[in-house]
């Protein structure tokens, strides 16, 4: 277990955020923070997850912990350690919770004992830093097993789930059969979207709290016009002849044609290779599929596999289609640099697509909406919660329907649908619903009810 020291939020950054949300919301935020501080009554709110870097939860905690503290709420963050055996079990549990029915993901005899046995050691280390009155907010399946171990020693223990499926599968039922009994003593549970709450947890106090976006992060902040060309050149989106190291393409990009972008991990559920083939029916447009350099994440062999599937698909495309599509692998060794490249690519896109087969929430959609991009997203999980079809983006009812996908994208690339209007409303929607004050107010509602 390690305690993460997040840098304090600069007063000027807090001021900029309060200005962005306006005086009325800023007032409600300060009221909620006061109420939460009072409810904690001298205790500290501890977030606990299983990684300090990589993944949406860590990214969010780097924002929320400093923000809560800047508003006077004592907040800390601890990360449980794990060995290969522990993360092998939790990876399968996560895959099952995402609905996997693969035999390789099934839990095996002894798995749950190994999982709780490992967490018993982590709980011991947490006890050393917890003080009377502290409240725990545990994130995801990696930490659920801490509930029975620590509930008697805390002033409150809550569990927040960032994964899920819209319709239960055999796999997700197996995940919940394992996880639900561990959560019996939780004071409440949090899901990102209502559709992901499983029947097994329906007896709990529940709050639906979506993830949030930080407008001043390198990925979302305004990029001065002068910086854009250099960043886009590095993404292979700068125009003909610019083919840098991390783009697999042939340099035929025609800047006169609208640019369509999907940013995702190389993952089965992101369905990147189907975006490539489906794009064949979108006339007169360019496509960039952007993801992390698979070589930078050697412990995730699934990403290397799904990137290879994309590369094989791309190589086999007809010449004309291959010339207007490209795969871009962004380096991950400097995360701020990676974030700026993603920021530039999302801003350069005329249309952003997210053709996921399932989605916990889909922060890439939020990021694009914040940049006032028109988004075509699958009507699954958090994407369906974020986009109102025809108002703040376009929803693809059946993510497997490539003809419908191409038709929706073409509505935007051809100008038949006013993408700028969708984008403006999308940004307003993020401003209203997915900035971090909504998190603090909702967490206060749950903890201080
Ligand atoms: N992302 C990134 N670089 C990449 C690909 C993805 O920074 O090359 C980021 C993306 O901008 C988003 C996050 O990874 O912030 C993905 O979150 P999302 O909720 O969309 O999906 P997840 O990967 O958690 O399933």
pLDDT at 235: 85
Residues 23 and 56 in one domain: yes
Instruction: Kindly report the protein residue whose alpha carbon is nearest to atom 24 of ligand 1.
Output: 56
CATH number at residue 157: 3.40.50.2000
Residue 265 in contact with ligand 1 by CB distance below 6 A: yes
| Ligand 1 atom with the shortest distance to the CA of 335 | 7
Residue 263 in contact with ligand 1 by CB distance below 6 A: yes
Q: What are phi and psi of 239, to 5 degrees?
A: 125, 180
Task: Give 243 Cα–ligand 1 centroid separation in angstroms.
Answer: 23
Residues 428 and 439 in one domain: no
Task: Give 419 Cα–ligand 1 centroid separation in angstroms.
Answer: 23
Query: Can you give the pTM of this predicted structure?
Result: 0.93
Residue 367 lies in a domain: yes
Residue 220 lies in a domain: no
Residues 157 and 173 in one domain: yes
Residue 93 in contact with ligand 1 by CB distance below 6 A: no
Task: Give 163 Cα–ligand 1 centroid separation in angstroms.
Answer: 14
Residue 364 in contact with ligand 1 by CB distance below 6 A: yes
Q: Which residues pair with 139 in a beta bridge?
A: 160
Q: Which domain holds residue 250?
A: 225-432
Q: 3-class SS at 260?
A: strand
Residues 189 and 235 in one domain: no
Residues 441 and 405 in one domain: no
Query: Strand ranges (DSSP E) for 45-93?
Result: 45-49, 75-79
CA distance to 138, 158, 409, 441, per residue, from 37 (Å): 19, 17, 47, 12
Place of tokens 């610019």: 242
pLDDT at 251: 61
Instruction: Kindly report the protein residue whose alpha carbon is nearest to atom 6 of ligand 1.
Output: 264
Residues 96 and 163 in one domain: yes
Residue 361 in contact with ligand 1 by CB distance below 6 A: yes
Token duo for residue 254: 């025609």
Residues 229 and 165 in one domain: no
pLDDT at 241: 54
Residue 239 lies in a domain: yes
Task: Give 128 Cα–ligand 1 centroid separation in angstroms.
Answer: 34
Residue 399 in contact with ligand 1 by CB distance below 6 A: no
Residue 284 lies in a domain: yes
CB 41, CB 131: distance < 8 Å: no
Residues 236 and 196 in one domain: no
Residue 217 lies in a domain: no
Residues 307 and 196 in one domain: no
- Each residue's pLDDT, cut to its tens digit, for the chain (449 residues) gives 999 999 999 999 999 999 999 999 999 999 999 999 999 999 999 999 999 887 789 989 999 999 999 999 999 999 999 999 999 999 999 999 999 999 999 999 999 999 999 999 999 999 999 999 999 999 999 999 999 999 999 999 999 999 999 999 999 999 999 999 999 999 999 999 999 999 999 999 999 999 999 999 999 999 999 999 899 988 888 765 555 556 666 666 788 999 999 999 999 999 999 999 999 999 999 999 999 988 876 656 788 899 999 999 999 999 999 989 999 999 888 989 999 999 999 999 999 999 999 898 999 999 999 999 999 999 999 999 999 999 999 999 999 999 999 999 999 999 999 999 999 999 999 999 999 999 999 999 999 98
pLDDT at 283: 97
pLDDT at 375: 98
Residues 377 and 325 in one domain: yes
Residues 205 and 245 in one domain: no
Residue 73 lies in a domain: yes
Residue 376 in contact with ligand 1 by CB distance below 6 A: no
pLDDT at 245: 52
Based on the structure, what is the number of domains in the chain? 2
Residues 176 and 130 in one domain: yes
Residue 64 lies in a domain: yes
For 15, other C-beta atoms within 10 Å of its C-beta total 11
pLDDT at 246: 64
Task: Give 147 Cα–ligand 1 centroid separation in angstroms.
Answer: 29
């Amino acid at each position: 277990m390690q305690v993460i020291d997040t840098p304090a939020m600069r007063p000027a950054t807090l001021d900029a955020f309060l200005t962005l949300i306006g005086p009325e919301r800023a007032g409600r935020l300060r009221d909620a923070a006061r109420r939460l501080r009072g409810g904690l009554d001298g205790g500290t709110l501890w977030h606990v997850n299983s990684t300090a870097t990589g993944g949406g939860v860590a990214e969010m905690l780097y924002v929320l912990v400093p923000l809560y503290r800047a508003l006077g709420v004592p907040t800390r963050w601890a990360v449980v350690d794990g060995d290969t055996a522990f993360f092998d079990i939790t990876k399968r549990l996560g895959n099952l919770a995402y609905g996997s029915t693969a035999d390789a993901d099934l839990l095996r005899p002894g798995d749950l004992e190994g999982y709780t046995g490992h967490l018993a050691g982590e709980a011991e280390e947490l006890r050393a830093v917890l003080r009377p009155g502290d409240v725990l907010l545990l994130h995801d399946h990696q930490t659920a097993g801490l509930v029975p171990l620590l509930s008697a020693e805390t002033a409150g223990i809550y569990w927040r789930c960032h994964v899920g499926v819209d319709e239960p599968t055999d796999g997700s039922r197996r995940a919940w059969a394992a996880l639900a009994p561990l959560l019996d003593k939780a004071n409440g549970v949090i899901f990102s979207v209502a559709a992901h709450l499983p029947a097994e947890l329906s007896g709990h106090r529940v709050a639906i709290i979506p993830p949030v976006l930080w407008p001043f992060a390198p990925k979302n902040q305004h990029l001065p016009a002068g910086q854009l060309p250099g960043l886009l050149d590095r993404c292979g989106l700068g125009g003909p002849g610019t083919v840098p190291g991390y783009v697999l393409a042939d340099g035929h990009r025609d800047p006169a044609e609208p640019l369509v972008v999907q940013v995702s991990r190389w993952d089965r559920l992101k369905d990147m290779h189907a975006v490539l083939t489906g794009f064949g029916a979108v006339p007169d447009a360019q496509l960039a599929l952007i993801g992390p350099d698979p070589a930078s994440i050697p412990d995730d062999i699934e990403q290397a596999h799904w990137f290879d599937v994309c590369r094989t698909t791309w190589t086999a495309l007809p010449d004309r289609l291959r010339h207007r599509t490209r795969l871009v692998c962004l380096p991950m060794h400097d995360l701020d640099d990676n974030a700026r490249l993603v920021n530039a690519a999302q801003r350069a896109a005329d249309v952003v697509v997210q053709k996921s087969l399932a989605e916990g929430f889909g922060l890439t959609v939020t990021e694009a909406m914040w940049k006032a991009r028109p988004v075509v997203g699958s009507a699954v999980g958090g994407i369906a919660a974020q986009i109102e079809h025809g108002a703040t983006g376009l929803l693809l009812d059946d993510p497997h329907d490539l003809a419908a996908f191409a038709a929706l994208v073409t509505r935007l690339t051809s100008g038949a649908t006013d993408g700028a209007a969708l984008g403006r409303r999308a940004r307003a929607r993020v401003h209203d619903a997915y900035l971090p004050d909504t998190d603090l107010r909702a967490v206060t509602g749950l903890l201080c009810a």
